[in-house]
Structure 1
Amino acid sequence: MEAVVEEKEVRSKTQDLDIPDVHLGQYFRSICESFKDRTALIDGITDERWSYAQLLELSSRVAAGLQKLGFGPGQLAGLHCDATPDIVFAFYGTVLSGGSMVFAKSSLTERELTYQFGDSRPSLVFCDEANADKTKSACATISSVETLVIFGERENMVSFTMLKDTPLCELQPVPSGDSEQLLALIYSSGTTGFPKGVMLSSKNIVASVCLLCDPRHRSFHEDDILLGTAPLTHVSGLTVFNASIAVGACMVLLPGSEPSITLPAIDKYKATVISQVPTCIQKLVKSPLLENYDVSSVRVLYFGGSSMPSVVARAVRTKLNIKTLQQGYGLTETCGSISLTPANSEDTESVGTPLAMTRMKVVDVNTGINLGPREHGEICVKGPTCVSGYLNNPEATAKLYDSEGFLHTGDVGYYTEEGMFYVVDRMKEMIKCMDQQVAPAELEDLLLK
């Protein structure tokens, strides 16, 4: 992934990537039809498996069931549950019915859930039994919510099983959809502040998949088995799953990233690619359970969220014998990764170079002037995965972009003469000491040594 550095901007050399101008539903359908007999998804707890053909069929049945409930184009479905493969069918069922989804992570309190659904105004909400009471209570005050659908059984709630059993012949045609259509809402603190509904369009999601699956730099293929530990309600979990199915690979979905969950799954399914944050990786290499399982199948580790301390990277290479470590960098507002380190990189501090069709720069936090190599400032990005803005928040949306159309990430960092980027810290988390700005990440790294 060579980069071009010119006029105090860094861009990928790849500016000709073919990104289909289609609705995600059409894109998903074509993928499933291409790999129909291959295994797409495995429940890492129950061992239940679904082929690509079954993935499309069940999602289509859910879409038909949603239509019978009066749900369709222009409407929004909420989702609040723990990790389960049913999220996949609920999301793509919603997409195939012409609707959109707001993802509300299961760790939210009732107050936080009420805020997110009150702001986004879904007409239908999916939940599981563990979060049913919280969801019902939160939605009781939101007039837009007409239907609650549960992954399980609960009185006065529609059973998701019933939707999955809807005859395919009852699926009604829906408009093909616009690539600019809102498809997913994920609440984020934005670059700073109170949670805002980040609007992910079909174009953003399809572009994100295409960038991650660019054969010129990706390290996973159709014969790989990916371990899915990131929640599908988080942008990283959603994009990694979409990237997995886009190349015809198989994903083993797990409810968490604890060593007691991931190590047995790696051994049982012979996972070849794992994706985790550095803190979880650190737990993995330090776990006393490690010696009980065969993890030799893993050849690629993707990580992000923060840099990996060199001591942890060494442990990964020696204890897990993983040769390829790649760090991605992105945020909800960029629909996932916008940069990635090369597969042969030994530098686990860098977040890599821009992905295809993506431009990045660093600006002075006070003047907004573009900075040169190794000068610290705010990282800004421009590309097809950057979202249009925040739901119901024009003021925050206006502040998201600069006059040149670059998105403010809120991250402090710099780039080298070769176009490799480094993230120092979040702008609002910098610690002021005397007349100096100290990055918490630097202190954390010192404490780990």
Structure 2
Amino acid sequence: MLDAAAEEFPDRPYLITDQRTWTYREMAQWVRQLAGGLVTAGVRPGEHVALVMANYPAFAALKFAIAAVGAVAVPVNILNRRDELAYVLRQSRAVMLVTMDRFRDLDYLGMLDEIAPGWETGGRGTALPDLRSVAVFKAEGDGRVGATTFENLQGGAVDLPRGDPAAPADIIYTSGTTGSPKGVVLTHDMLLRAAFGSAYARAFEDGRRIHFSLPMNHVYGYVEGLLAALFVGGAIVPHLKFDPCETLRAIERHRVTDLLLIPTMTLAVLDALADTPVDTASLKGMLSSGGRTPPGLWDRILATFDSIEITTGYGMSECTASTTVTRPDDPSDRLKTTNGRLRDVGSAGDPAIGNRIVDYRVVDPQSGAVLAPGEVGELMARGPGVTTGYFDKPEATAEAFDAEGWLHTGDLGRIDADGYLSLVGRVKESYRCGGEQVTPSEIEDVLMGHPSVLQAYVAPVPDDRMGEIGIAFIVTRPGSGLEPQVLINWCAERLARFKVPRHILAIKVEDVPLTPSGRPRKFLLSRLAIERLGLS
């Protein structure tokens, strides 16, 4: 797909940074050089290459190069710590690792020293038996004397295998809202169908310029940005980390037409706009998706950006990317009350399921019975955009699917008669307090209605008398203090007694444990609450 785009749009910009721009032709040439380097390093078709890389241009080039040699990319969450990194490298059976030296406060080479001493000279011991080579990308550190550098991967021309659309392209590890990560296997066919669907469903114009700081090691930035831009000769403007002021400056500096955000990012951008005078006239579209939407967000967006096409959606790694999305011309009520319509992807879709690559149904979590439109239950997914399973985890794969091949998403929601989906919460995040079922999202919505609350996250902890009770973590608005009893009273006036959180705890926005798509990792919040409250 990159070669096809480079032939059609050779001189158009494809990847834009403040330092330089790569045209489609330049990116394709870089990819061929890297592909030669990978082959010279001994990477063979079907083998796994792990990447610990932030949104540097090198990440994009490596992704295409790995695909070009017929290998499988294992993009690793750059926030992973030592044990998490060791787990992914070992479980994925990666034969090669390309890693940054340092990024922010994380020292990846120091982690490797502890995981596999002597790695820079080929030593790996028993910790990583499949790993044959490591290449170091100098990001924010000094590299490592004696280690292979990223620059050494630039090789000469090699014969490349013919691509197989059905072959795995990526193994993307879920961050897990409820447990340990699993490697989701995605094929080239799945990824490109989903990326075409993004451009189609959101009505991309020719040459769309997409800015995001969402990590490309996750399907959001990867599929909705890096890959989707190819279909319209567009460009991506990736940032290494999110900064609302820098996002606004990027819009002006690079004439950005589209933003990919999660709701908390969207809110921060709107807040920053008051103090950052920039020209945002180029902005035509915005996808704000992936987390809880603060009350009033959509109205603020529409009031701030004139004639913007704002959309929201729902997706997960197992389903390749967003599988529902509001349409650009949908009424604002659809934005405020749903997570979008089951995504029609045109010619990329399966006519048998309405030109989609993922179909959904709602079932009773206990009985498995299919529910009528509008009823709340677990969302089940099936179609050519759904993974066939988790890498080297047959038991987890078997547990994830029912007898008819429908994937358990773990999400609670409803689908109305018009095909619009509304998320309610997570099956495993719901809990029973005194025998009564509690859905955290209902409490979170009430808490975010209070003027001092910016974000709210409710998680359960064990209780001897009630079985489980709710604990609320609160991010307060700037200038507001946390008054736990006030918020408990606020909930008591609006919710049944068993739904009122027992404790209110403060948390900084940067300390909320999130998946790359912006979902809170509730099991980690439960652990944190137990630690803070001294519960056994």
- TM-score of Structure 1 vs Structure 2, range by shorter chain: 0.7 to 0.9
Mapped contact 1:62–1:93 kept (Cα < 8 A): yes
After TM superposition, the score normalised by the length of structure 1 is 0.88
Within-5 A mapping of 1:72-87: 72-87=44-59
The code of the aligned residue for 1:209 comes to A
Within-5 A mapping of 1:1-400: 27-43=1-17, 46-130=18-102, 131-139=108-116, 140=124, 141-152=127-138, 153-164=143-154, 166-167=155-156, 170-174=157-161, 176-189=162-175, 192-214=178-200, 217-240=201-224, 241-287=226-272, 290-321=275-306, 323-345=308-330, 346=332, 347-348=334-335, 349-356=337-344, 357=356, 358-400=358-400
Task: Report the secondary structure of 1:208's partner residue.
Answer: helix
* Structure 1: distance between partners of 2:307 and 2:58: 31
* Structure 1: distance between partners of 2:404 and 2:177: 18
Task: Report the secondary structure of 1:115's partner residue.
Answer: helix
* Structure 2: distance between partners of 1:104 and 1:230: 14
Task: Report the secondary structure of 1:329's partner residue.
Answer: strand
Q: Runs of 5+ in structure 1 lacking a partner?
A: 1-26
Task: Report the secondary structure of 1:429's partner residue.
Answer: coil
1:405 equivalent in structure 2 = 405
State whether structure 2 residue 446 is matched by structure 1 residue 446: yes
Task: Report the secondary structure of 1:265's partner residue.
Answer: helix
* Structure 2: distance between partners of 1:226 and 1:37: 18
Cα displacement (A) at 1:288: 6.1
* Structure 1: distance between partners of 2:68 and 2:247: 32
* Structure 2: distance between partners of 1:71 and 1:340: 38
The code of the aligned residue for 1:364 comes to D
CA 189–268 in structure 1, closer or farther in 2 if over 3 Å, else same: closer
Cα displacement (A) at 1:261: 2.3
Mapped contact 1:260–1:289 kept (Cα < 8 A): no
Mapped contact 2:11–2:24 kept (Cα < 8 A): yes
* Structure 2: distance between partners of 1:137 and 1:110: 8
CA 191–207 in structure 1, closer or farther in 2 if over 3 Å, else same: farther
Mapped contact 2:248–2:273 kept (Cα < 8 A): no
Task: Report the secondary structure of 2:312's partner residue.
Answer: strand
Mapped contact 1:123–1:145 kept (Cα < 8 A): yes
Cα displacement (A) at 1:143: 2.0
Aligned pairs, number: 415
Q: Runs of 5+ in structure 2 lacking a partner?
A: 103-107, 117-123, 345-355, 450-536
* Structure 2: distance between partners of 1:227 and 1:378: 33
Deviations 1:322-360 (A, max 9, x none): 532111211010111111111122122311121232321
Mapped contact 1:329–1:339 kept (Cα < 8 A): yes
Mapped contact 1:380–1:409 kept (Cα < 8 A): yes
Cα displacement (A) at 1:74: 1.9
Cα displacement (A) at 1:380: 1.0
Instruction: Point out the structure with max Rg over C-alpha.
Output: 2
The code of the aligned residue for 1:292 comes to P
The code of the aligned residue for 2:254 comes to Y
Mapped contact 1:190–1:333 kept (Cα < 8 A): no
* Structure 1: distance between partners of 2:207 and 2:21: 16
Point out the more displaced range, 74-83 or 366-375.
74-83
CA 322–401 in structure 1, closer or farther in 2 if over 3 Å, else same: farther
* Structure 2: distance between partners of 1:361 and 1:31: 36
The code of the aligned residue for 1:173 comes to L
Task: Report the secondary structure of 2:360's partner residue.
Answer: strand
After TM superposition, the score normalised by the length of structure 2 is 0.74
Mapped contact 1:79–1:125 kept (Cα < 8 A): yes
2:467 equivalent in structure 1 = none
* Structure 2: distance between partners of 1:288 and 1:323: 16
Deviations 1:40-63 (A, max 9, x none): 1112xx431111111111011100
The code of the aligned residue for 1:151 comes to F
Point out the more displaced range, 244-253 or 349-358.
349-358
Cα displacement (A) at 1:190: 5.7
Cα displacement (A) at 1:401: 1.7
The code of the aligned residue for 1:155 comes to V
Mapped contact 2:248–2:276 kept (Cα < 8 A): no
**Alignment identity in percent?**
27
CA 322–158 in structure 1, closer or farther in 2 if over 3 Å, else same: farther
Mapped contact 1:39–1:51 kept (Cα < 8 A): yes
The code of the aligned residue for 1:256 comes to K
Mapped contact 2:221–2:260 kept (Cα < 8 A): no
Task: Report the secondary structure of 2:34's partner residue.
Answer: helix
* Structure 2: distance between partners of 1:157 and 1:107: 23
* Structure 2: distance between partners of 1:109 and 1:87: 20
Task: Report the secondary structure of 1:432's partner residue.
Answer: strand
RMSD (Å) for aligned C-alpha atoms? 1.8
Higher RCO structure (Cα 8 Å, ≥6 apart):
1
* Structure 1: distance between partners of 2:112 and 2:194: 30
